[in-house]
Structure 1
Amino acid sequence: MIWRSVVGKLWLTIIGLVTLVLLVLSLFLTEQIMDTYYKAELNNLEQLANHIKTTLEQPGDEGRAEELRSVLKMADLYDTYMIILGPDGSVRPTGISPNVPDIPWQDILEQTEIDRVFKGEEQVLRGRVMVEGDGKSSFPLFKDEVMLVAYPLQAPDGHIDGAVVLYRTQEQLSESQIKKLIFFSALIGIFLTTIFAFFLSTRITQPLIQIKKAAERMAKGKFSTRVPVRSHERDEIGDLSVAFNRMAAQLEESIHALSQEKEQLASILRSMADGVITMNAQGQVIVTNPPADRLLEDWHFDSETDPSHGALPSPLDDIFLRVVEEERELFGDVTIHGRTWAVVMGPLYARNQVRGAVAVLRDVTEERRLDKLRKDFVANVSHELRTPLSMLQGYSEALLDGVAQSPDEQREIVSVINDESLRMGRLVRELLDLARMEAGHMRLEKAKVDVPGLGRRVLRKFQSIAREQRITLTGKIPDSMAEAWWDEDKIEQVLINLADNAIRHTPENGEVTITLGQAGDKAHLMVEDTGSGIPEEDLPFIFERFYKADKARTRAQSGGTGLGLAIVKHIVEAHDGTVTAKSTLGQGTRFVVQLPLAGPKQTE
């Protein structure tokens, strides 16, 4: 784990380098110091050997024993072992130091070297002593390093009278103390270096650790995090901290700006009445606004009802595939669940590649319906006006051309022209009334209304017409009802239009019944016939302008304008009432109008 830390790596690197340098330096210093030390000790040993030789070679025996004892003490004082050999190579009894080491001099000097000494040659030796084993091992044993000087002793006549041998072992030398001193100095150096390396690495890595922690906090969304920078420590790491803080400030500003733009975009999307859907490259829905959420829920493509969560409805998916393939904006209408939606879908790019698409949907059901009604209205008005105009033109040309010779023929033509002009005037008048009603400009002249009297008056108006067409017209009108607060002319127009429709669509020997009643605070006006009836699939549309339940029947055949029921609906709704129709094909139709007796609320 320590190698995964900058502190550990730096710390171990410094300690390793310093340790290596100290070890190399210790070895080098040990070699140099010990070499110098050995040379100095060897020089001292040679000087001592010369002094002893000079003393022992003096003529005469007086005072020699005392001198010899002083020499032995001097040698012992210098931790030097001295051995005086006689002419035969044996040790003189008085010529040996009192403290003999565990390494006898015979193991140091070889016979050849002793022979050289007795031949007058001085022997100076330094090295490790190799002695024979103790019997347990056949290999020689290396003992301490020794330093030895052997000088021959000459008699006055010049022959070799003996030899003096001086030597020291490692125990007597200060080598071990010097090596220990160097070793402990190296250990102290390594220890101090360890402390220094740890302190230095901590000082270096502490700002890095702070930068790391700041980066982790920023990764969690805390973009206001900053790294403390000491003004007196503007080194490379300090510059890194300053650069990090500058980056953090710019990042915080950018994130804040992006958040503001995101909030603005989210507010715009939430406030839009149109649905906005964003898809990724696979066609999965990733972003929607509330209208789009409701739209997808209405289309049953939410996560709870559709296993393919986030998928587009089939009509939108087809447009999406075309947008991604062609990489261009597409427009079109889709119809789902009986409603029409205008769709504008365009591609979204990321590095010149299509990464998805965005679609804007608007409910244009009412616009398309109104547009269709407008077109149908223009076509129907053109058709309705063309018939009377054609008849007016044809009969007027007949009069001009003198086709009608007799007064009766002329009177008949003029009667037809008058009827068609009246029908055309009625059509124009009803169109104007309907236009005012749809524009909300209908004025209601509210007054007290005698409902039974109103019903009997309408019944009288259609009695003669019903008799001419051999239709039985009856009324179920109570003698008295609560007074209503209505626009009497408008309600009378409602009954007239319903009664007129019933009579016109009832064959001979049929029956038409007008019924008035009261239930609570509401009045019920019902017109029922035994005519041809209305197909069930046409019932939802009979209150639209110019709608014909019997497609084969023309306005001229029925005598109507196709606007009566539309006017009835507007008048009833203006009085806060309702109008419904029930019909069975071939058995008749029943229209029921329910009106509050108090009249419309806005006129109270």
Structure 2
Amino acid sequence: MRLPDFITQQVDRIVDEWEQFARTITPAAENMDRMALRDHARAILLAAARDMTKPQTASEQLAKAKGEGPEKTPSLDQAGASHGELRHTVGFDLVQMSSEFRHLRACVIRLWVASLTSPDLAYFQDMIRFNEAIDEALAESTAAYAEQMNHSRDIFLAILGHDLRVPLQAVSMSTEMLMRKTTLEGDALACAVNIKRGARHMAVMVSELLELVRSRLGKRLPIEAGPMDLADVVHAAIAEACAGNPECDPTVRIEGDTQGVWDAGRVAQLLQNLIGNALQHGSNKRDVTVTLIGETDAVRLMVHNFGVPIPGDAIGTIFDPLVRRADEELGAPSTSLGLGLFIVKEVVDAHAGTIEVSSNEAEGTLFTVVLPRKT
């Protein structure tokens, strides 16, 4: 039996072996179901079989072997690219993803050779064509994986820079205010100067760190949940936000039990970004309200401000990374990378919570986060 026919006839058997091999790739495959493990294997195999039946000249074959052939197989490329993207999403590294194709190639050849009774010269040509098809799928998978990896790295670097600037700004501005409004002498003055100098050095180190981690990959937001009181984090987040905005004076309202099991650091990120967003876009820095309401199985957090409403067509993308509001683009130059609300959404998702936003001129802008008490 010719190899394309064998692949078409035995595709389910081959995909079963693909699944068994993919299941051994841990820890990424530990929580994957059968459908996720099989992924695009069937589509890749059938597209490869169709490609093998198409006429190909010797010159075309040589060009394809060098990766220079203009002719490609859209269905094979699409399946390969989608596979690379999804394997990146679930946590496979590039070597693990590539090993799936190596195993697929070996599996098909082994099963096919075992089924042959009287091989002829045409069968060797089939093997060459099959290897070409698998190489094309692997190339597309690798390219798509690399693109996703680059995107993740960029997001990671942007989040890192975004988060480190906030505490650095608070330290720098607090030191500046302390030195302006208080007469410092002796050791006190030396300490304040050291703090200011240290903050400057930290900013330089942050830049160097960003260069160091430029090749690192940012994965799904990790959390380390533990018992905590959300009210304590709210007060701390407001204090840090106001350190860099002396005019701010948010109103805090707390009702019911606000204790639960969350990642205190990540929740602090969420609060700092929501409060910072309200202060930045509010018409009055003193007219920001933070409300906590303890419910039966969750705690509801609301941050409200009055100001220029978020346009209706922007609501759907407001949590996307690297998106800035129109008033930021038109206003004074800003160091914002458009990541604050993206980080908020990531933290909420990591805690299996929900977030909603409503915005109009009459009622203002309201972000509502619901965090289950147990993540």
Q: Which band: TM-score by shorter chain? A: 0.3 to 0.5
Higher relative contact order (CA 8 A, sep 6+): 2
Structure 1 length-normalised TM: 0.32
Higher-helix-fraction structure: 2
| Structure ID, larger Rg | 1
Higher-strand-fraction structure: 1
